[in-house]
Structure 1
Amino acid sequence: MTDLKAVDFFCGAGGMSYGLQTAGIKILAGIDNDRSCKETYERNITDAKFINSDITELKEDDLCSLLNINKNDDNLILAGCSPCQYWSKVRTDKTKSLKSAFLLKNFERFIAHFRPGFVVVENVPGLVTNKKQSILPDFIEFLQQEGYAYDDGVINAIEYGVPQNRKRYLLIASRLTENISLPSPEHNPNLVVKNYIGIANGFNKILAGHRDDSGFLHSAAILSKENLKRIQLTPKSGGDRSSWKDDKSLQIPAYIGKDNIFRDVYGRMYWDRPAPTITTRFNSFSNGRFGHPDEDRAISIREGATLQTFPKHFVFKGSNMASLARQIGNAVPPEIARRIGAHIIKIAQNG
């Protein structure tokens, strides 16, 4: 048993919260400005509040009143996994995500006010590699001035129990001990797609466009006539668009003569390899190597969640498939979060 408790900032559907909870840490609340995550979060995180608020507008005293938490509580963990589109390598409209780039500064306010025993930050590696604009150095300087020791680095989910090549920035800090570290990576050759999805793992064969109205959500996106032909011509387990590049009716204009760029787009997953990074568009065949290894469709909503290490009983609620995929793709894989939680418990117990 542990007396540790956590508040999960930018909680989304609750991947971080669920993992910490599984490790034995009590979750007090998740905070997010996306109300569409509320029902998913509350269905899965025991006795936790979902605070639907923009962190830039949320006041420290308001959080204190809502959760009855105190300053300088050695057992309190503040976790911040802020939206990361601005720092991502994925090509997006940076003007829309600019506001999210500096949410870490707002997270600082709550750390300075409550001075929790532990702080966790999880984000994209771009937070480290974008030297010119990153606010990370200022954040780390702030932690040190507040008396926190820390360890940080870029980790790959495949070394932390997740069947995905998914690189992330991770920081763990504490004001209770100088003996601070990240969880140790480990190699596990069993973290491959065939051990998570497919008939042997409880996923029946389905067609593109299949709708699963049960809570299992084994639903697959509709494919256009052209995309159905494309995936039918794509070799099983790892095939890519080179198999139909010479078919003028199927070739993508943007890739004519550019077969060596973005090779994963319109590709199938490999059975015997980890999955690629599960993004917010993982249910779309045209947005990455998200084709099923065998079946002529993109992976389903539940298959994506399983590759993110959400348990099959985890309940997702959303108005449509795009909302569900966004919740899943944005989430911290629960197994990474569980390992973070278990590691913090050890640090708290051993000093």
Structure 2
Amino acid sequence: MARKPRAVAGERIAGSAIDRLRAFAVDRATVRDAAIATAGGLDNLWTKARTAEAGPVDVVDMFAGCGGMSAGFLAVNALVPAYRLAMAVDIDALAMRTYERNLGLKPSLLNLHDYAEDQSAIVREVNARRSSPDAPLVLIGCAPCQGFSSHRNAEGEGDERNSLFLTFAKVAVAIGPDAIIVENVPEVTTDRYWPVVRRARRMLEEAGYHVVLTAHDMSEFGVPQHRFRAVMIGLRRPFVMPRGFLSGTARRTVRQAIGHLPAVLPGQISPHDAMHRSAGHRVSTVETIKAVPVDGGNRPSHVGPDCLRRVGERQGRAAYEDVYGRLWWNRPAITITGHARNPASGRYVHPEQHRGLTVREAALLQGFPSTWQFEGSVGPAFMQVGNAVPPPFAAFLATHLLGELFGPAVEKTDREVDILHSLGPSFSRLIPALKAGHRTLHDRMARA
């Protein structure tokens, strides 16, 4: 049976820990400044955060992966004791090992599919990990995104991974946390997947939660890449949604993120950092990369695999220009995916060096602390990075959330950026105009 939502987090807990959070959250402008500082300075705060005093708010991270979202929540403790990582759940053994190595908590090997019909067992598991039954609780559910991805758009609602979205909503209702956080690819806001998202949202609303769904470019939150993501938040009282703090040329760039790293050859491991290693490349791949102009250059139409040249000849112009393309030094990277190790997968070639990205470079472009260690070989490490929530965004969100859970109440939920209807057949078609600044997500939401 679902727990009845309470209006104020920690209302039945007395003590200095909650009082400190209420004092921290008394002014929303101050909380926003702190959120910006945490997101922008996460790497510098990380050493302190790992050993800082835990806070009174329990965090349960479903689909935790290698720990991107949890890292952001833990980083807040460098400013104020706020969060305690109570439980993490995943089914990827290597990602779980990475999570434990960096965050000190061993994730539970649980498959949420097993709780689609009966959530009582997972409720018991969560309750057993909580610091107390009355402790404020944040439940995070970043379900595997591939089922919703535009690269897998044939399966639609029938894809098993899409049902995880609904199962998570059922689990959330059964657990009854104070806050629910969902992050996923923006395709969840499009026609094909909208019925799944609408049903999940309705479940939460019928359980008493105020729910808002929006979408952001993670570069607005200090992540040095263009990465559009859908974010759904549910709270037990009216709340204000987070908004980014960077735009235009103020966004963090590739140079700011990785420009300080030493040069390495393809497949070579840096003697200073075992994560600073790229995949090995064939001689033909290296020759193709050498022909690509530095700093954002595209692959010339006459070089590269025969299949690309044949397509280009049929079209009368270069085909798939991003393939083997170089990143720009002074722009954010493109979206870092699990396949970013392969120069043939997109614009994933180093701006100057003749190779693809290293694990460390990809992790820094995703916003991970510079000391983060990944378990597994290059391929699995890249998959962990590409599937992760960028920690700077998670840190901003976690700080912002303190203002909504413990700060002064607002009269009504912020609906300005709420997506209430499908944004159309494809989100990816909107991205070029969004990047160019010809339209904004909020404009598109208003017309939906």
Give the TM-score taking structure 1 as reference length: 0.90
Match of 2:219 in 1: 158
Counterpart check, 1:321 vs 2:342: no
User: How many equivalent pairs are there?
Assistant: 341
Classify 1:143/1:261 alpha carbon distance in 2 versus 1 (closer, same or farther; 3 Å): farther
What residue in structure 2 maps to residue 38 of structure 1? 96
Are 1:181 and 2:241 matched, yes or no? yes
8 Å contact from structure 1 (residues 182, 343) kept in 2? yes
Q: Give the deviation of 1:332 after TM superposition.
A: 0.2
* Unaligned stretches of 5+ residues in structure 1: none
Quote the Cα distance in structure 2 between the aligned partners of 1:195 and 1:327: 22
Cα displacement (A) at 1:205: 0.8
Structure 1 residues 291 and 321, CA gap change in structure 2 (3 angstroms):
same
- Structure 2: which amino acid aligns with 1:179? F
CA RMSD of aligned residues (A): 2.3
In 2, the alpha carbon distance for the partners of 1:165 and 1:112 equals 33
Q: 1:236 aligns with which of 294, 298, 305?
A: 294
For the structure 1 residues 261 and 103, does the alpha-carbon distance in structure 2 shift closer, same or farther, using more than 3 Å as the test? farther
The corresponding residue for 1:252 is: 308
Corresponding residue for 2:207? Answer: 146
Query: How far off is 1:149 after superposition?
Result: 0.8
Cα displacement (A) at 1:305: 0.2
* Amino acid in the other structure paired with 1:282: A
2:262 to 189, 204, 224: 204
Amino acid at match of 2:129: L
Given the superposition, is the C-alpha separation of residues 64 and 274 from structure 1 closer, same or farther in structure 2, using an over 3 Å criterion? Answer: closer
Aligned residue for 2:60? Answer: 7
Matched to 1:156, the amino acid is: D
Is the alpha carbon distance of 1:207 and 1:278 closer, same or farther for their aligned partners in structure 2, counting shifts above 3 Å?
same
Residue pair 1:162, 1:309 contacting (<8 A) in 2 also? yes
Partner of 1:339: 396
Judge conservation of contact 1:5–1:27 (CA < 8 Å) in 2: yes
CA distance in 1, matches of 2:154, 2:280: 26
Q: What is the correspondence of 1:1-351 to structure 2 with a 5 Å cutoff? A: 2=21, 3-24=56-77, 25-46=83-104, 48-57=105-114, 59-64=121-126, 66-68=128-130, 73=134, 75-91=136-152, 94=155, 98-131=159-192, 134-175=195-236, 177-187=237-247, 189-198=250-259, 201=260, 203-212=261-270, 215-241=273-299, 243=300, 245-247=301-303, 252-253=308-309, 255-257=311-313, 258=315, 259=317, 261-318=319-376, 320-350=377-407, 351=409
Aligned equivalent of 2:428: none
Q: Which whole-Å CA distance do the structure 1 matches of 2:403 and 2:255 have between them?
A: 33
Deviation at 1:216, TM superposition (A): 4.1
Pairwise CA distance, 1:344: 0.6
Q: Which amino acid aligns with 1:321?
A: V
Q: Distance in 1 between matches of 2:253 and 2:197?
A: 33
CA separation in 2, counterparts of 1:295 and 1:248?
A: 17
C-alpha displacement of 1:301: 0.6
> SS state of the match for residue 57, structure 1?
helix
Question: Partner letter of residue 224 of structure 1?
Answer: R
SS in 1 for 2:159: helix
CA distance in 1, matches of 2:75, 2:138: 15
Shift of 1:36: 1.4
**Does the CA-based 8 Å contact 2:219-2:251 persist in structure 1?**
no
The residue type paired with residue 182 of structure 1 is P
Greater alpha carbon shift after TM alignment, 97-106 vs 157-166: 97-106
- Give the SS at the match of 1:227: helix
Question: 2:284 is aligned with what amino acid?
Answer: E
Amino acid at match of 1:15: G
- Give the 3 Å change call, closer, same or farther, for CA 157–113 of structure 1 in structure 2: same
Larger CA Rg, structure 1 vs 2: 2
2: CA distance between counterparts of 1:345 and 1:65?
A: 22
Counterpart of 2:112, as a letter, is: I
SS at match of 1:217: strand
Q: Is the contact between residue 60 and residue 126 of structure 2 (CA under 8 Å) also seen in structure 1?
A: no
User: Is the contact between residue 267 and residue 277 of structure 2 (CA under 8 Å) also seen in structure 1?
Assistant: yes
Q: Secondary structure at the match of 1:56?
A: helix
Structure 2: distance between partners of 1:179 and 1:116 = 15
Deviation by residue 1:253-285 (Cα, 9 ceiling, x = unmatched): 563234465321110000011000000011111
Relative to structure 2, which stretch is displaced further, 76-85 or 143-152? 143-152
- Separation in 1, partners of 2:193, 2:276: 43
CA–CA distance in structure 2, aligned partners of residues 261 and 249 of structure 1: 11
- Alpha-carbon distance between aligned partners in 1 of 2:212 and 2:293, rounded to the nearest angstrom: 43
Cα deviation, residue 20, structure 1: 0.9
Identity in percent: 28
In structure 2, runs of 5+ residues without a counterpart are 1-19, 22-55, 78-82, 116-120, 410-448
Tell me the amino acid that sits aligned with residue 122 of structure 2.
E
Q: Output the amino acid matched with 1:340.
A: L
CA distance in 2, matches of 1:324, 1:93: 27
Larger helix percent: 2
